[in-house]
Structure 1
Amino acid sequence: MAQASSTQAPALTPKFCFDERLLQDFLRLSRSTIDDSITQNLNALFTPARNGFDPSSTAMRQTHSKSQRSIDEEACREFKDNVLFTSWQTRSDVLNYCAGVATSPDPEDPDLVLRQTESARDRERVVDERLDPYSARFFPQEARTESLASLIRNQRSVEGIIRARTWSIVNERCGGSFSSWEEALDDWRRKQQ
């Protein structure tokens, strides 16, 4: 079974957030450890030898594994509380922190002077679009805070899709709660306070 320690939050600094590859690698690793391998993690909770071996179990082919492979309710609850929700909360904390960084002014932006120079030059440019219709085209360089904000929006969308899929599998295997993953995570957060 996956351990919650494998999804420990990195040191949250603006430098971490602006290193988009590092941020994406953290999110990808956390998702692969818990969400992408949710079936294997849940299978690890199943203890078939609890009641001992039943020779009659081999007399007939078992095609309905769901009904035969019920996972212990306590094991499921512990997995959700100690591994799944902890991992989700860690990723949420990282995304929320980096979203805050993306909306804050960035005094250390290495391309700030270049963008300001280009902006001043473009304001002075006189364009006669009748002579050259392509001369008005300008592609300003995106600030790294804008790039980070876009990345955070995309990662939050991915996070929602992955959590919905994971939660449906957890409900299927653990006997389901009829709440959504958002409600279940909010309930877990309230219990943690």
Structure 2
Amino acid sequence: MGRGKRPATYEDIEALPPGWVGEIIDDELWALPRPARWHTWVASVLGVDLGSRFGVGRGGPGGWWLVDEPELHFGRQVLVPDLAGWRYERAPGLFERDEPFFDLAPDWVCEVLSPSTATLDRGRKLSLYHQEGVSHAWLLDPRAHTLEVYRRGVGGWQLVARHGGEEVIRAEPFDAEPLELGGLWAPRPTPAPEP
């Protein structure tokens, strides 16, 4: 933060134009427009897939609270991952309070990388997630069709696996069920049938 510049506050987030997402990282406001369509598609498909099997337990083991774009408050830090999840046993009363934010660090976060956010997502945000005790982080790149899976280690994040393309994978912490990566990527337009 520059000399003489005041720390960002939650009022700065509230003052953003409609449709903008605000985060406060190290007392600095990061204002980002709503994500591109392909970014939204990947996050939505992953949320539905994991949410049905691990959130509500339809055709899978359940056991998780999975939330799209939760606002996380860690002291003065305000972060908004694309997806986050808490294990039921660690957060049984997660939804008992009525605030529009969460102050308990999730067990898993997923950031969908965009050209405008990749540096922040890979850098300071990933560092803060580790600092707050998040046990797993995923970085999804919808343009490169890749998924990086990280596990929290004592000194930092450990890259567990890098997957891509059309692979069918098992990725921590949701490795109890297979995940079809090909289903995440935005569908390619198909030509209309000829008459």
Alignment TM-score, normalising by the size of structure 2:
0.21
Greater helix percent: which structure?
A: 1
Which structure has more RCO (C-alpha within 8 Å, separation ≥ 6)?
1
Select the structure that is richer in strand: 2
Compare CA radii of gyration and give the structure with the larger one: 1
